[in-house]
Structure 1
Amino acid sequence: MRYAQGGGLTNAERVARERVRLEAVARFEAGETNRAVAAVLRVTDRSVERWRRQWREAGQAGVSSKGSPGRPKLSVVQMARLERELERGPLAHGWSDQRWTLARVKNLIGRLFHVSCTVEGTWRLLKRHGWSWQQPTRRAIERDDDAVERWKKEVWPRVRAPRRRATAGSSSRTRPASR
């Protein structure tokens, strides 16, 4: 079974898949045919052919799992440090405003840990560790929420145009009464 960019399996699923390949190796050593191995393990003939070829070329190590294709770029200790630095805010790291962008976080990771990653990789890393995308709402400093609510209740009903009543011959969204 193929997955885009080698992904699609969790670590537990990857271990289970490796057990299937190792079972296939035991059956290769017992002299079973590819078709018999595929039927017992419920996999395709092509997978068994590929595993047999890898087993012939490199032994059991040839069919062993190579690990996660998308290993985390930062260790647990590094991620904890990154979170502390993010909590300090962008001003502490030389930016002129209090807004973290993915490009800034990417830059910070490079400065702190000498690790290069893409903006998309930075987003996946942050999301995996519970960070979410947030856009601050822009509000005027002078805004008075109480005054806005009062205006909506008292002034708006007087300002808004009254609804026209439907008269005979005018279009209406309701169905005419049956006769």
Structure 2
Amino acid sequence: MNDIEKLIQIMGRLPGLGPRSARRAVLHLMKKREALLQPLIGAMQDVSAHVKTCTVCGNLDASDPCAICRDGGRDQTILCVVADVGDLWALERIATFKGRYHVLGGVLSALDGIGPEQLSIAGLLRRVEAGGVKELILALGATVDGQTTAHYLADRLQPYNLAISRLAHGVPVGGELDYLDDGTLIQALKARQKL
């Protein structure tokens, strides 16, 4: 296997890139070596050398604790629980939530053999037991595994007398009812609000 094929194979393992997309991406990088490939190599080396997993929340950052955990302006009484770092980044992108986070590292999944021991649930319990947390937002996906995880966490955290909520599910902004799946419509009806 030559170097280009090896790069295509590695790129093909990335989410959203199959073998054909990886081949196109590598070809584009090769054609634009100075403008794209060299800066990409440098950025990847920097990330590999400097990015760490935050020992407090599980975020990825150049420092530990991460910038969010160090930010004294954030509300320490509200903790938003997410499955993965990508979910944390999505919530940060909208710049609305001003509390802290806890990354579980996935969701419970009997099919995939992921139980509570494989997730950062013990770390979440330690943070709650340490005191100061008054509200927990379970920002987990609207999948069966996400909802199973949310119910499991709600049960485990029930003795701590916290306000526990989850993200609303239903009709997306700009969504047309005719294009939504049945599950989303059912959830939207159940979570309806007064005007």
Q: TM-score range by the shorter chain?
A: under 0.3
| Bigger-Rg structure (1/2) | 1
**When you count strand as a share of all residues, which structure comes out higher?**
2
TM-score of the superposition, structure 2-length normalised? Answer: 0.20
TM-score of the superposition, structure 1-length normalised? Answer: 0.21
**When you count helix as a share of all residues, which structure comes out higher?**
1
